[in-house]
C-alpha cells in the first residue's frame, strides 16, 4: 500500500483541515544562509515563565544559572502583546510588529458573515474540483493550507542576508513559512485529525461514558473472555461521499491473573503493565484501497480491573513520513526522526484536556509531560552541538502547560485548591523552573564572547480564580438580545441570539466585536460616529463593572483596537480587546458563543493559571548576557535587536527598537 | 406561536411533564419545543461546522 506523501496531498486536498502541503520545500534545496557569522545569537523561548516567580526563586538561590546570567548581563520584565495569548505574542516577536502588522489577534477569529469561529493561525481549503465515482469523491484540483500570519519572519530576513538560522518549534508558524532555513513547527500544528488534539479513551466504567468531552472521545467497551475489541478513529475520509471517519481495529488481551494486557494494532503487538506507557506506535489509516495516511500514537494502560481503562494519545503527524508540512526543509523532521525516533509533533503535546476531564490524573499527566520535556531536552543537546554560526531559537512548552494546570496547588485562594494534592504536587511549577535552570546551564556553557544569549518568555502567569461571561455581561447590559430567554446557557455559537437586536458579541478569548452594519451578516450598528460612540461606551462600562461576589474589577483594561494597533491589518481587528484583571479570565463558555446565566463564576477546573489578561498583569521575562539599554522592552523590540546584531537595519514596517 | 397539535402517548406525556418540571422549564410545551429545536439543529448543522467545533474544543483554553 502506498503512503500519501505531501506532494500527493497537495494534489488531492485530502481531509478537511488535515492534509495539505507546503510546496516550496519539496523543490531541490539550494542552501542559503551558510555564511559564518562573527556574531551568534542563541535564544531560549520558555513559554510563560513569569518574572515574579523567577525573581523569587532566584533570590532563594534555587535558580543559580538564571542568577548568574542576570549578574553577567541584565534581567527585565518583557512587555507582552495585546492580548497576551501565545500565537499573538510570538507573532509580535517573529515579525517585530503588533497584531495590526501580523493579523493574529486571538487564538480564535470569527467569520462575520456566519457568526462562526475560525482558527486564527492557519486556514485550510478543500479541493474545489472533484469527481464522484461510486461512493468515492476524488479531488481533481488541490486544496491548500495557509499560515495566516502576515509580515516577514525574522529568519526569512536573515536568509536574505545569508545568515543561517535554526528555529525550533516557535509557536504560530504552522505551516512553516517558506524558507530554506531549518525550521520545525510547534504550537498550532494539528494532530492527524486536523484538530488541536483529540485523545481516545476506552473504558468499561459506566459513569465515564459521557458522549462528548472537549478534546477527547470516550468509547464504551466490553471485556468478553478477557478480550477487548475497539476502533481507533482517524481522519474524516473526504474521498468518501458520506465523509465517514477512517478507523483502525485493535484488540486487547487481558491477562486473567496479572494486571497486564497485550495490545495488537496493525503490525504491532506489545505488552503493557497497568500504569505503563507504550513507546510511539506508527500506524496508518487506510483511506482508499491504494492509499493510507501515517500517524503515531502512544497507549497508556490506566487500569485492567475491576474496570478496564485505556488511554490513547491524540494521533500525531508522523515526523518521518509527514503527511502535513511541519518542517523546512522537509528533510529536517526526517533528520530528527532518524536521530531520535518518532517524536511529538502536535502543537501543544501535553494532554491538558485529559487531565481536566479526569481521564489522566495529576501524576499520569506529569508522566506524559515528562516524556515531552525529556524529548525537548535531548533535542536541545543535539541542536546546541550543531550550532556554530548565525542564530538558534529553541522553544519549550512544558513551562506554560504546567503553570496552567498546577497553579491551583500553589494558590490557597483558588477554588480548586486541594491541600492533599498540594502536598504531593505543589512543587511542580518550581520544579519546571529548576529544569529550565539546567537547560540554561547547558546554553551558558556553550556561549562564547561573540554569542548573544537571550532568555525570554512571551508572557507571565496569573491565577485564574473567577471566570467572566463576557456575552452574558453584554446581554445584561442591553447590548445582546436572545430569541428565547428561557433557553439561555444551553446553546453554543449564538444559536439563541436575535441579531436584529444585538449590538455586540464576543468570540475568542479576549475579542469583542460590534455587530456592524455591512460587515456582519445581520449588523445593525452603523460604522462611523455611531459605532465609535458605542465602542467607547462599552469599553468604559466594562472597566467599571464590579464582581458581585468579591467587589473586584474583572476587566482592568478594555483596549480599543485602533488606539493600540498599527499596520495594514488594523481593520481586521476585534473592536475591543478585553484585558482581564489579576485572578480573572474569560469564561469557558464565552469563547465559542455560549451565554450562561451568571456574569461571573468560580473557576473550579484544574486549568487554574492563565495569561489571557491585561498585558500589564502578566509581563514575560527578558534575560541577556548584555546590558539592556532600552527602557521597558517589548516582544517586538527583540526582532530588530536580532537583526542589528547581524548588521541589518530595522525594516520600516517593524514597530520595535533594538534593546542594545 | 401556531397551534398545531401533536399526539403523544400518555406514558410519554407523563414523562415529559415530570422532566420538564425537574429541568426547570416553565411548561411541557417549552420543554418539547427545546428538544425538537435541538434535534433539528443537529440535523441542520453542516458536517464542516460540527468538525470545526470539535477541533477547536481541543484547545485547552475553552470547553
What residue ranges do the domains of chain A occupy? 36-104+149-186+368-461+618-660, 199-317, 465-616
Give the chain B residue whose CA is nearest to the CA of A198.
B58
Higher pLDDT, A13 or B54: B54
Given a cut of 70, is residue B13 above it in pLDDT? yes
Predicted local distance difference test score (pLDDT) of residue A479: 98
> Which one of A108, A353, A592 has the shortest CB-CB distance to B58?
A353
Mean pLDDT of B5-24: 88
Number of neighbouring beta carbons within 10 Å of residue A140: 12
Predicted local distance difference test score (pLDDT) of residue A11: 43
Exposed, middle or buried, A198 (CB in 10 Å: 0-12/13-18/19+)? buried
Largest CA distance in chain A: 76
Strand A216-220 and strand A227-236: the pairing is unpaired
Q: Chain A: nearest CA to B14, how far in angstroms?
A: 22
Contact call for A17 and B63, based on CB within 8 A: no
Probe site for chain B from A124, A195, A468, A588 (most B CB atoms < 10 A): A195
Give me the numbers of helices (H) and strands (E) for chain A, helices first please: 16, 36
Give the three-class secondary structure for A533: helix
Topology of the domain comprising A36-104+149-186+368-461+618-660: Alkaline Phosphatase, subunit A (3.40.720)
Report the distance separating Cα A454 and Cα A624, nearest Å: 5
A209 close to B (CB below 8 A): no
DSSP per position, A105-140: -SSEEEETTTTEEEESSEEEE--S-EEEETTEEEES
B21 close to A (CB below 8 A): no
Prediction ipTM score: 0.78
A601 close to B (CB below 8 A): no
Dihedral angle sign, alpha carbons of residues A57, A63, A65, A68: positive
Predicted local distance difference test score (pLDDT) of residue A59: 97
Which residues of chain A lie closer than 8 angstroms to B30, CB-CB?
486
Give the chain B residue whose CA is nearest to the CA of A216.
B58
Cis ω before A306 (30° cut-off from 0): yes
Angle between helices A330-340 and A362-386 (to 10 degrees): 110
Task: Name which of A653, A5, A1 is nearest A322 in CA terms.
Answer: A5
Predicted local distance difference test score (pLDDT) of residue B39: 72
C-beta of residue B27 within 8 angstroms of C-beta of residue B12:
no
A84 close to B (CB below 8 A): no
What is the model's pTM?
0.89
Strand A144-147 and strand A122-125: the pairing is antiparallel
B11 close to A (CB below 8 A): no
Task: Name which of A183, A84, A179, A173 is nearest A122 in CA terms.
Answer: A173
Strand A276-277 and strand A299-303: the pairing is antiparallel
Cis ω before A329 (30° cut-off from 0): yes
Contact call for A214 and B57, based on CB within 8 A: yes
- Which cell numbers in the block locate residue A460? 507571565
Q: Which residues of chain A are under the pLDDT cut of 50?
A: 1-2, 5-7, 9-31
In eight-state DSSP terms, residue A632 is: S
Predicted local distance difference test score (pLDDT) of residue A21: 34
B63 close to A (CB below 8 A): yes
What b-and-e string marks burial along A510-542, b requiring 16 or more CB atoms within 10 Å of the CB? bbbbbbbeeebeebebeeeeebeebbeebbeeb
Contact call for A16 and B51, based on CB within 8 A: yes
Task: Name which of A178, A116, A140, A52 is nearest A463 in CA terms.
Answer: A52
Helix runs in B1-63, H state only: 10-22, 28-44, 47-57
Strand locations in A224-337, DSSP E?
227-236, 245-254, 260-265, 268-273, 276-277, 281-288, 291-297, 299-303, 309-312, 316-317, 327-328
Predicted local distance difference test score (pLDDT) of residue B55: 73
Domain extent listing, chain B? 10-57
Q: Chain A: nearest CA to B10, how far in angstroms?
A: 26
- Which cell numbers in the block locate residue A176? 512553516
Q: Chain A: nearest CA to B61, how far in angstroms?
A: 7
Exposed, middle or buried, A183 (CB in 10 Å: 0-12/13-18/19+)? buried
Which residues of chain A lie closer than 8 angstroms to B53, CB-CB?
117, 492-493, 592
Which residues of chain A lie closer than 8 angstroms to B39, CB-CB?
none
Q: Chain B: nearest CA to A533, how far in angstroms?
A: 31
In eight-state DSSP terms, residue A615 is: G
Q: Chain B: nearest CA to A341, how far in angstroms?
A: 26
pLDDT in tens, A198-253: 999 999 997 655 656 778 999 999 999 999 999 999 987 777 777 788 899 999 99
- Which cell numbers in the block locate residue A72? 553577567
C-beta of residue A600 within 8 angstroms of C-beta of residue A468:
yes
What b-and-e string marks burial along A51-90, b requiring 16 or more CB atoms within 10 Å of the CB? bebbbebbeeeebebbbbbbeebbbbbbbbbbbbbbbbbb
Dihedral angle sign, alpha carbons of residues B7, B11, B13, B16: negative
Report the distance separating Cα A581 and Cα A579, nearest Å: 7
User: What angle (nearest 5°) sits at the alpha carbon of residue B55, between those of residues A409 and A287?
Assistant: 130
Contact call for B58 and A607, based on CB within 8 A: no
A404 close to B (CB below 8 A): yes
Angle between helices A64-72 and A428-446 (to 10 degrees): 50
C-beta of residue A480 within 8 angstroms of C-beta of residue B41:
no
Predicted local distance difference test score (pLDDT) of residue A287: 81
Contact call for B52 and A196, based on CB within 8 A: no
Amino acid at each position: 500500500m502506498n503512503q500519501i506523501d505531501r506532494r500527493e496531498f497537495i494534489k488531492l486536498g485530502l481531509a478537511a483541515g488535515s492534509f495539505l502541503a507546503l510546496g516550496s520545500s519539496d523543490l531541490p534545496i539550494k542552501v542559503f544562509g551558510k555564511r559564518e557569522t562573527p556574531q551568534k545569537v542563541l535564544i531560549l523561548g520558555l513559554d510563560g515563565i513569569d518574572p515574579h516567580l523567577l525573581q523569587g526563586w532566584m533570590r532563594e538561590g534555587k535558580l543559580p544559572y538564571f542568577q548568574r546570567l542576570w549578574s553577567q548581563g541584565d534581567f527585565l520584565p518583557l512587555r507582552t502583546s495585546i492580548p497576551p495569548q501565545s500565537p499573538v505574542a510570538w507573532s509580535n516577536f517573529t515579525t517585530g510588529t503588533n497584531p495590526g502588522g501580523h493579523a493574529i489577534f486571538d487564538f480564535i477569529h470569527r467569520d462575520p458573515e456566519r457568526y462562526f469561529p475560525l482558527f486564527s493561525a492557519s486556514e485550510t481549503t478543500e479541493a474545489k474540483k472533484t469527481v464522484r465515482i461510486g461512493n468515492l469523491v476524488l479531488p481533481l484540483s488541490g486544496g491548500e493550507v495557509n499560515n495566516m500570519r502576515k509580515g516577514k519572519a525574522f529568519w526569512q530576513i536573515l536568509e536574505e542576508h545569508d545568515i543561517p538560522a535554526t528555529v525550533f518549534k516557535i509557536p504560530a508558524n504552522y505551516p512553516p513559512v517558506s524558507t530554506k532555513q531549518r525550521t520545525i513547527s510547534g504550537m498550532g500544528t494539528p494532530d492527524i485529525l486536523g484538530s488541536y488534539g483529540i485523545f481516545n479513551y476506552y473504558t468499561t466504567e459506566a459513569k465515564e461514558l459521557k458522549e462528548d468531552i472537549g478534546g477527547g472521545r470516550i468509547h464504551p467497551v466490553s471485556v468478553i473472555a478477557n478480550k477487548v475489541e475497539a476502533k481507533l478513529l482517524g481522519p474524516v475520509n473526504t474521498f468518501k461521499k458520506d465523509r465517514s471517519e477512517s478507523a483502525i481495529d485493535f484488540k486487547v488481551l487481558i491477562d486473567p491473573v496479572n494486571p497486564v494486557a497485550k495490545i495488537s494494532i496493525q503490525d504491532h503487538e506489545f505488552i503493557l503493565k497497568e500504569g505503563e506507557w507504550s513507546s510511539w506506535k506508527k500506524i496508518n489509516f487506510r483511506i482508499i484501497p491504494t492509499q493510507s495516511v501515517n500517524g503515531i500514537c502512544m497507549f497508556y494502560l490506566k487500569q485492567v480491573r475491576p474496570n478496564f481503562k485505556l488511554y490513547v494519545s491524540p494521533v500525531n503527524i508522523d515526523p518521518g513520513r509527514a503527511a502535513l508540512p511541519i518542517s523546512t526543509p522537509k528533510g529536517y523532521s526526517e533528520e530528527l526522526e532518524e536521530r531520535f525516533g518518532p517524536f511529538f509533533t502536535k502543537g501543544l503535546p501535553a494532554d491538558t484536556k485529559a487531565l481536566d476531564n479526569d481521564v489522566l490524573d495529576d501524576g499520569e499527566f506529569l508522566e506524559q509531560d515528562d516524556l515531552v520535556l525529556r524529548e525537548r531536552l535531548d533535542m536541545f543537546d543535539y541542536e546546541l552541538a550543531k550550532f556554530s554560526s548565525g542564530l538558534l531559537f529553541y522553544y519549550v512548552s512544558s513551562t506554560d502547560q504546567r503553570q496552567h494546570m498546577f497553579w491551583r496547588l500553589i494558590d490557597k485562594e483558588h477554588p480548586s485548591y486541594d491541600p492533599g494534592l498540594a502536598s504531593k504536587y505543589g512543587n511542580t511549577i518550581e520544579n519546571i523552573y529548576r529544569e529550565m535552570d539546567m537547560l540554561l546551564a547547558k546554553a551558558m556553557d556553550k556561549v562564547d564572547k561573540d554569542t548573544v544569549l537571550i532568555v525570554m518568555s512571551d508572557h507571565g502567569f496569573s491565577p485564574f480564580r473567577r471566570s467572566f461571561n463576557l456575552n452574558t455581561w453584554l446581554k445584561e447590559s442591553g447590548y445582546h438580545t436572545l430569541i428565547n430567554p428561557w433557553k439561555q446557557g444551553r446553546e453554543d455559537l449564538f444559536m439563541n441570539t436575535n441579531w436584529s437586536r444585538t449590538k455586540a458579541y464576543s468570540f475568542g478569548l479576549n475579542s469583542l466585536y460590534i455587530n456592524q452594519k455591512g460587515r456582519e451578516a445581520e449588523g445593525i450598528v452603523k460604522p462611523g460616529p455611531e459605532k465609535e460612540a458605542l465602542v467607547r461606551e462599552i469599553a468604559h462600562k466594562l472597566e467599571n463593572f464590579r464582581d458581585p461576589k468579591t467587589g473586584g474589577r474583572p476587566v482592568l483594561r478594555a483596549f480599543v483596537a485602533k488606539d493600540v494597533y498599527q499596520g495594514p491589518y488594523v481593520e481586521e481587528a476585534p473592536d475591543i480587546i478585553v484585558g482581564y484583571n489579576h485572578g480573572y479570565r474569560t469564561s469557558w463558555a464565552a469563547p465559542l458563543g455560549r451565554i450562561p446565566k451568571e456574569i461571573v463564576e468560580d473557576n473550579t477546573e484544574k486549568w487554574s493559571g492563565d495569561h489571557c489578561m491585561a498585558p500589564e498583569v502578566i509581563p514575560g521575562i527578558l534575560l541577556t548576557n548584555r546590558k539592556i539599554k532600552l527602557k521597558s522592552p517589548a516582544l517586538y523590540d527583540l526582532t530588530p535587536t536580532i537583526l542589528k546584531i547581524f548588521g541589518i537595519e530595522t525594516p520600516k514596517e517593524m514597530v520595535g527598537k533594538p534593546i542594545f | 406561536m401556531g397551534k398545531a397539535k401533536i399526539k403523544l402517548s400518555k406514558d410519554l406525556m407523563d414523562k415529559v411533564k415530570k422532566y420538564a418540571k425537574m429541568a426547570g422549564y416553565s411548561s411541557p410545551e417549552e420543554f418539547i419545543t427545546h428538544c425538537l429545536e435541538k434535534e433539528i439543529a443537529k440535523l441542520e448543522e453542516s458536517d464542516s461546522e460540527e468538525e470545526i467545533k470539535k477541533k477547536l474544543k481541543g484547545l485547552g483554553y475553552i470547553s
